[in-house]
Amino acid sequence: MNKETLVEIQEKTGIRPKSIMSVGGGSISEAFIITTATEKLFLKFHKDVLAYDMFEKEGQGLRVIQETNTIATPKIHFVNQAFQGAYLIMDYIETKPASSKDHALLGSQLAELHHNSISYFGLDHVNFIGPIKQMNTPFDDWTDFYIENRIYPQLELAVQNGFIASEEIMSKEKLKTTCSHYFNEIQPALLHGDLWSGNYIIAKDGTPYLIDPALYYGHSEVDIAMTKLFGGFDTEFYKAYYEIQPQPEHPQAYQDLYQLYYLLVHLNLFGSSYYSGVKRILDRYFI
């Protein structure tokens, strides 16, 4: 982010920084901690043409989660366009390493979040997972939603990107037939949608916060599958979660089939190193 953009942000928001420090913001956006005379704020800036829409949907997702009164999210102050991109400004949360007790609280609060439901799977608008658009066209049936809005679009994108050969792609009917064997009596739950270890933080007082959601209403086990994709959370997280939510009927199948979506997203974002994980699940369930 250049000096001219910073001046523009100050003029639009009225924020008067005493200091601005660049921090690691992940692979998508630049991130900064702004210190003013009275508070600390967290600024995300991105140059992509879709940046404003991405940040707007991120802010909407955080507000929806906050309104459930189940788990905290940082307060959003501004989402604005800039001359060279867009930015999001929210509260900066002072953090600490997560203890087993903190993980247990995160697990129980996530379970309470998942008690929020509506009459369909999906959402009333498109949002994003990372920089990739995430379709949320509502469906009454979870299998239809998951294949039409999650798996098949990512498979098609992987073919377009040259990561998967077109002959490796099975039909929607084949995908749905297999998934429908496992996806029985599933009720819509409000999901974070991208719950890996980088998308929650623990405040210094032990309060869990969710950040960077890819929110929609789906099967609660989707969030659980994502927590396990890159090593898993503390065992106390799962213990506390399943003290509130029922144990899944097909735990291994749910984990594999829901991780398939995230592996496809990573394949399309970061390249062929994720192909073997995708191929393993496709071969196991759909060949």
The whole-angstrom separation of Cα 275 and Cα 53 is 29
- pLDDT score of 25: 57
Pick among 3.90.1200.10, 2.40.50.140, 2.40.220.10, 3.40.50.150: CATH of 100-286: 3.90.1200.10
Could you list the pLDDT tens digit for every one of the 287 residues in the chain? Answer: 778 888 899 999 999 999 999 997 566 789 999 999 999 999 999 998 899 999 999 999 999 999 999 999 999 999 999 988 999 999 999 999 999 999 999 999 999 999 999 999 999 999 999 999 999 999 999 999 999 999 999 999 999 999 999 999 999 999 999 999 999 999 999 999 999 999 999 999 999 999 999 999 999 999 999 999 999 999 999 999 999 999 999 999 999 999 999 999 999 999 999 999 999 999 999 98
pLDDT of residue 2: 79
CATH fold for domain 3-91: Phosphorylase Kinase; domain 1 (3.30.200)
* pLDDT value of residue 27: 65
Residue 91 is predicted with a pLDDT of 98
Contact between 202 and 109 under an 8 Å Cβ cutoff? The reply is no
Q: What is the domain partition of the chain in residue ranges? A: 3-91, 100-286
| Angstrom distances, CA of residue 237 to CA of 124, 161, 218, 219, 268 | 30, 37, 20, 18, 30
48 noted as active-site residue? no
Give residue 40's pLDDT: 97
Handedness of CA 267, 286, 259, 121 (dihedral sign): positive
Report d(CA 187, CA 183) in Å as an integer: 10
Of 91, 141, 144, 194, the catalytic one is 194
